[in-house]
Amino acid sequence: MLPKPPFARTSALDMFTPAFQGYSSFVTLGDGVTRVDRWSPRFGLVSLATVAALAVICQLPGKVSFYLIPIAALSFAAGSIIILGLTIFLVAKKRPRTGASISLIVLLPLILWSPMVRAAEFAHLGLAAEFGVGQLGYSSSHGSDFIVYDWSVGLAGANTFLIHDVTDEIALPMSKHTHPSSSEDGFGEECAGKVKRLVSHYYVCSF
């Protein structure tokens, strides 16, 4: 009579997704299987790359970003609650390294949010200035010295513009401008002294 195969105990986490098996290794002890707590940044890095790509896509005007922004925000909020619960469960099961690894799915994007958004703005700038894509349109009222690209994605109260000002006066209060306001196509009143500099003569104005 053939001996019975070893019985492998499984948990709810084992059945959650095979992808999480990469966080732990198995050690056979007698007729059972015991998980070994192990650290891995893999899923945190994948999450970071995904959020970074979404940060670029959500800056591009159009229907995709209009719908994607609220969907991505709600998905991240719901996912954060699930990851928090899973982390607490793993720590309670005395697997803190695995729990810390899982928590990086949420923590890495939050910690690196500002540099990610900055990098997304540079990518958007390259698409708009070099290839003429990534904006609803542009207007120029002073030759090539003052050009405005419409970066608005259509959400209420989220008017965003990329401004190329060779004189850099858009970064100064309106009272210090030497050029007439007509040369700034009305953006001087809204953006003067309220812009964020990206690089060289490029600024972002939101109102």
Predicted pLDDT at 24: 46
DSSP secondary structure, the chain, as one string: -PPPPPPPP--HHHHH-GGGGGG-EEEEETTEEEEE-----HHHHHHHHHHHHHHHHTTS-SHHHHHHHHHHHHHHHHHHHHHHHHHHHHHHTT-HHHHHHHHHHHHHHHHTHHHHHHHHHHHHHHHHHHHS-SSS-EEESBTBSEEEEE---S-TT--EEEEEETT-GGGS-GGG--S-GGGGTTHHHHHTT--EEEETTEEEEE-
| pLDDT, tens digit (0-9, with 9 covering 90-100), for 61-119 | 777 788 888 999 999 999 999 999 999 999 999 999 999 999 999 999 999 999 999 99
How far is C-alpha 16 from the geometric centre of its chain's CA atoms? 26
| pLDDT, tens digit (0-9, with 9 covering 90-100), for 10-30 | 554 454 444 444 444 444 444
How far is C-alpha 60 from the geometric centre of its chain's CA atoms? 13
Cα pseudo-dihedral 184, 187, 191, 195, rounded to 10: -60
What predicted TM-score, i.e. pTM, was given to this entire model?
Answer: 0.69
154 torsion bin: left (phi>0), alpha (psi -120 to 50), beta (else): left
| pLDDT, tens digit (0-9, with 9 covering 90-100), for 28-64 | 444 444 467 888 899 899 999 999 999 988 888 777 7
Distance, in Å, from the CA atom of 90 to the CA atom of 87, rounded to the nearest integer, reads 5
Domain range annotation of the chain: 42-118, 135-206
